[in-house]
Chains A and B, each alone.
Chain A
Amino acid sequence: MSVRVQRDDFDVSREMDALLTGRKDIGGVVSFTGLVRDFSDDRNVGALTLEHYPGMTEKALAAIEAEAHERFDIQASLIVHRFGRMEPGERIVLVIAASAHRGEAFRAAEFLMDWLKTKAPFWKSEDTPDGPKWVESRATDDTATERWS
């Protein structure tokens, strides 16, 4: 179990290897990588800047990860979330969930992403043709969070 908040990019396969090295009890591992896209709703966007709350962010991610271990039969997990400025195509977030059986790993990875969207203190600002705009929270993200309660 671990979480990291960092400015730098990450390497998905290295992170997965590091998490699973020496493990013989894992039957399936699911990873999700979130990327910066170049459109949002009806407008084109350039770079994205992610602000966060140092201290609380790490605690919130660790609490979300702990909740995933309570709810699902997973044996290993990782959350890496970046902050700062990122261009379209760059990686923003990585979650990995590993379990003896694939179903739990799939569900845990989806749960981790749904919860961190609305419960980890990050705020996105997008560069648009009209200047930087704070991204508004989405009702669909709240619905995705609530379906696990």
Chain B
Amino acid sequence: MKLLYFAWIRERTGVHEETWPLPKGTATVQDLIARLAERGPGFAHAFADVKQIRAAVNQETAKLDAPVSDGDEVAFFPPMTGG
């Protein structure tokens, strides 16, 4: 799958964009966040407070219980602050 990180989540993970194999047993956005948080201190810091995390699956805003599969593009970012 393709993973994207924006704003302070990008800064904390140190990654903007990457390809990552969907780990077994990962069914939802929330599952994916739990797996990513195990990838090291930067990822743990980025994903420590799930309340501050928003996600998009295939460029559509997605809730934490939204399903994810291996061909998806999943993005993580803080609440939007445009305008």
Contact = CB atoms under 8 A, between A and B. Distances in A.
A3 B51 CA distance: 30
Interface in B49-83: 56, 59-61, 75, 77-83
A121 B55 CA distance: 10
Interface stretch (B1-9, B20-28, B32-40): B1-9
A123 B83 contact: no
Interface stretch (A14-22, A49-57, A97-105): A49-57
Contact of B79 (A51, A53, A92, A118): A118
A69 interface: no
A119 B59 contact: no
Contacts of B79: 118, 136-137
Q: Name the interface size band of chain A.
A: 20 to 34
Interface string A109-131: 00001001111111111000000
A122 B54 CA distance: 12
Given A55-B59, A56-B56, A59-B59, A119 B7 contact: no
Contacts of B61: 60, 119
Given A53-B6, A134-B7, A122 B59 contact: no
Interface of B: 4, 6-8, 56, 59-61, 75, 77-83
Given A56-B59, A121-B82, 16 more contacts: A53-B6, A53-B59, A56-B75, A93-B82, A113-B83, A117-B81, A117-B82, A118-B80, A119-B80, A120-B83, A121-B6, A122-B82, A123-B81, A124-B81, A136-B81, A137-B81
